[in-house]
Amino acid sequence: MTRAASAAAQSAGFVVIGSGPAGQKAAIQAAKAGHDVVLVERECAVGGACVRTGTIPSKTLRERATRPRLHGEPEAVERPMEELLAGVADVVEAHDRYMTAQLERNGVRVLRGQARFLGPTRLEVLRISGPSLQVEAPRVVIATGSRPRAPAQFSIDHEHVLDSDSILSLSWLPRSLLVLGGGVIACEYASIFASLGCRVTQVDRNHRPLSFIDAELTDVYVEALRAAGSDFLPGVGVRALHWDGISQVRADFDDGFGLARASNTTPVIVIRFEAESAAALERIKGEFRRALQPLKPGAPLPY
Contact indicator for 17, 26 with CB cutoff of 8 Å: no
Distance CA 33, CA 50 (A): 25
150 binds ligand FAD (CB under 6 A): no
29 binds ligand FAD (CB under 6 A): no
Taking CB under 6 A as the binding criterion, the range among 137-145, 205-213, 216-224, 231-239 that sits at the site for ligand FAD is: 137-145
Classify the C-alpha dihedral 147-48-110-92 as positive or negative: positive
Task: State the DSSP string of 288-299.
Answer: HHHHHTTSPTTP
114 binds ligand FAD (CB under 6 A): yes
174 binds ligand FAD (CB under 6 A): no
Sheet hosting strand 37-41, strand order edge to edge: 109-112, 37-41, 14-17, 139-142
Distance CA 14, CA 138 (A): 7
115 binds ligand FAD (CB under 6 A): yes
Kind and range of the H or E run holding 202: strand 199-203
User: How many residues belong to the site for ligand FAD (CB under 6 A)?
Assistant: 27
Taking CB under 6 A as the binding criterion, the range among 54-62, 133-141, 201-209, 227-235 that sits at the site for ligand FAD is: 54-62
Residue 268: CB minimum distance to ligand FAD, A: 21
Closer to ligand FAD at the Cβ: 40 or 238? Answer: 40
CA-nearest of 91, 84, 25 to 52 is 91
The residue type of 288 is F
Within residues 180-219, the interface with ligand FAD by CB under 6 A covers 185
40 binds ligand FAD (CB under 6 A): yes
**Antiparallel, parallel or unpaired: β 199-203 and 231-233:** parallel
**Across the strands, what pairs with 14?**
37, 139
Residue 17: CB minimum distance to ligand FAD, A: 5
The one among 65, 143, 170, 200 contacting ligand FAD by CB under 6 A: 143
Contact indicator for 236, 266 with CB cutoff of 8 Å: no
Taking CB under 6 A as the binding criterion, the range among 39-47, 72-80, 84-92, 256-264 that sits at the site for ligand FAD is: 39-47
Q: Which residue is nearest to ligand FAD (CB)?
A: 145
Classify the C-alpha dihedral 98-123-55-270 as positive or negative: positive
Distance CA 4, CA 23 (A): 27
Closer to ligand FAD at the Cβ: 147 or 208? Answer: 147
Classify the C-alpha dihedral 9-14-17-18 as positive or negative: negative
The one among 27, 76, 145, 190 contacting ligand FAD by CB under 6 A: 145
Taking CB under 6 A as the binding criterion, the range among 16-24, 155-163, 221-229, 246-254 that sits at the site for ligand FAD is: 16-24
Taking CB under 6 A as the binding criterion, the range among 12-20, 28-36, 91-99, 236-244 that sits at the site for ligand FAD is: 12-20
CA-nearest of 79, 103, 77, 252 to 177 is 77
The one among 10, 29, 36, 43 contacting ligand FAD by CB under 6 A: 43
Taking CB under 6 A as the binding criterion, the range among 52-60, 67-75, 149-157, 171-179 that sits at the site for ligand FAD is: 52-60
**Across the strands, what pairs with 269?**
177
Closer to ligand FAD at the Cβ: 50 or 77? Answer: 50
> Where does this chain bind ligand FAD (CB under 6 A)?
17-23, 40-43, 48-50, 53-55, 58, 114-115, 143-146, 164, 185, 275
